[in-house]
Structure 1
Amino acid sequence: MEALLSRLFSSRQEELLTLDRMAYFMLLMAACALVALLFEDVPYGRYTTGRYGFPVNARLAWFVQELPAFLLPLCLLVWSSSSKTSVLENQLLIAMYMCHYTQRSLIYPLLIRGGKPTPVASFCLAFVFCIYNGYMQIRYLSHYAEYPAHWVKHPCFIIGSSLWLAGWLVNVHADHILRNLRKPGETGYKIPRGGMFEYVSGANFLGEITEWVGFAVAGHSVHSSAFAIFTTVVLGSRAVAHHKWYLSKFEDYPKNRKALVPFLF
């Protein structure tokens, strides 16, 4: 892996510049997605239509599309020759990333119960994004990210890592609630209750957004910030769409429940 990347980039400065450009391009894509999502919901799950290609089994789609976000960074780390991977701050940030995608790519797909098929277009976009972002985040953290002495004790790192952990717990718990909405043999949609679902319709989305915002605060880089902003745009749109759908579907839907931010929005 190191030999291949050495052939692609003639110097460390050239690769770092490429990583920076990738981050700025992700910010551009976030802006484009924000505009596009004002007119149409992300085509997945209950919003799936036949316009985005043939359907892919939900469990298979989740496993295959998320796997590069775990496998590519793992390869980068295994074959890494950089001393940055021995720095505590870098190790902790890498651990945050890998913890999320270990759960998302290896555990979550096994727990899916049913689930509507994913349009092949959405599946392919997610697959490409996971390769792109996985390389950008881990290559930067393992080779280029430098932090001041004792950054692990800095308020930004403490607050950011605390947000990451809180978001991860909310996300995993919300997924658990959603999986157990229906008893064996039951079909149809139900109102999710418990945990952060008492406050927002998109508790799972709120958890994941909080994770990556915390990751960006702790990581203090354009690369982690771009990921957090992109995630907020896409998942925030899903939360709003879910909230509107629940309100139209269920007459008894809790009126005090917000879409994404408790008590506010």
Structure 2
Amino acid sequence: MEAVLDWLFSSKEEEQHIITSMAYFMMFMAFCSFVTLTLLKENVPYGRYASSKYGFPVNVKFAWFVQELPAILVPFLLVVSSSATKVFMMPNQLIIAMYFCHYIQRSLIYPFLIRGGKPTPFVSFALAFVFCMYNGYMQVRYLSHFAVYPASWVTHPLFLIGFLMWLFGWLINMHSDHILRNLRKPGETGYQIPKGGMFEYVSGANFLGEIIEWAGFALASQSAQSLAFSIFTTVVLTSRAFSHHNWYLEKFEDYPKNRKALIPFLL
């Protein structure tokens, strides 16, 4: 891995500049996504919004496993097969561990727990694969080779608040996924109204959890890279939460009227 990166970049300074540029490009893509998903009312084409115009269908379990795998594999290779000097610093270790904790579950556990689920269009699958590779490199390369924190950063209020936000969001996301997986009994088909946990307050409980999770990650790591990821995630998942909320309201006459789309009691 180190040899490949040495071939790609003439110096560490050039690579750091590229990683910073990647973060700003992701922020730009977040803006483009906001225009497409929010202003033009488009939906990310997977799950209930899947469409054949976005390519042939890919088995949902296979798609989730493969598309998320680069988010683990690329960072793992960066850490173990290159001179990742910053990995030995406690703040860097903890922030990298937060990243890995999410994606180990999302790639190696979550896909095999899926029950049913519509196939993923190939275009959505391919874009997710590219995004996970792009973001995995950007996040962990920065944290393992370039991010510098004082040794006391792990006790700084910003880090502690960020970590608690990340943990809270991660737990909401995990619990909400569990609720969604168990909506239907064996042999049942069709959509059901999710109940329990944060679903008592919002239609997009799983999305809210992930938004909080990566916002906490960004607060703890204090980098352009993590901020870009948090903004991009917020834009995409906010749009999906509102689309789900409107879909539930149209499909179920008895859908709870006091339930909000994303933010409890507000929105």
* TM-score, structure 1 as length reference: 0.99
In 2, Cα distance between equivalents of 1:194 and 1:100: 22
Aligned partner of 1:69 in structure 2 is 71
In 2, Cα distance between equivalents of 1:82 and 1:231: 27
Q: Percent identity?
A: 70
Aligned partner of 1:224 in structure 2 is 226
Runs of 4+ in 1 over 3 A off after TM superposition: none
Contact 2:90 2:151 in 1 (8 A): no
SS at 2:83 equivalent: coil
Aligned partner of 2:24 in structure 1 is 24
User: Quick one: which amino acid aligns to residue 3 of structure 1?
Assistant: A
Deviates more, 1:191-200 or 1:40-49: 40-49
User: Quick one: which amino acid aligns to residue 165 of structure 1?
Assistant: L
Contact 1:52 1:122 in 2 (8 A): yes
- Deviation per residue, 1:125-151 (Å, 9 max, x gap): 000000000000000000000113401
Cα offset for 1:27? Answer: 0.2
SS at 1:157 equivalent: helix
Q: How does 1:115-194 map to 2 (within 5 A)?
A: 115-194=117-196
Contact 1:80 1:142 in 2 (8 A): no
Aligned partner of 1:50 in structure 2 is 52
Aligned partner of 1:203 in structure 2 is 205
Cα offset for 1:17? Answer: 0.1
Cα offset for 1:16? Answer: 0.3
Contact 1:171 1:205 in 2 (8 A): yes
Aligned partner of 1:4 in structure 2 is 4
Deviates more, 1:195-204 or 1:149-158: 149-158
In 1, Cα distance between equivalents of 2:118 and 2:86: 42
Aligned partner of 2:216 in structure 1 is 214
In 1, Cα distance between equivalents of 2:58 and 2:51: 13
Cα offset for 1:79? Answer: 1.1
User: Quick one: which amino acid aligns to residue 236 of structure 1?
Assistant: T
In 2, Cα distance between equivalents of 1:152 and 1:83: 18
Runs of 5+ unmatched residues, structure 1: none
User: Quick one: which amino acid aligns to residue 90 of structure 1?
Assistant: N
In 2, Cα distance between equivalents of 1:46 and 1:142: 38
Runs of 5+ unmatched residues, structure 2: none
Counterpart of 1:235 (choices 234, 237, 241) is: 237
Contact 1:202 1:243 in 2 (8 A): yes
In 2, Cα distance between equivalents of 1:138 and 1:124: 21
* TM-score, structure 2 as length reference: 0.98
Q: How does 1:240-251 map to 2 (within 5 A)?
A: 240-251=242-253
Contact 1:199 1:262 in 2 (8 A): yes
In 1, Cα distance between equivalents of 2:47 and 2:10: 44
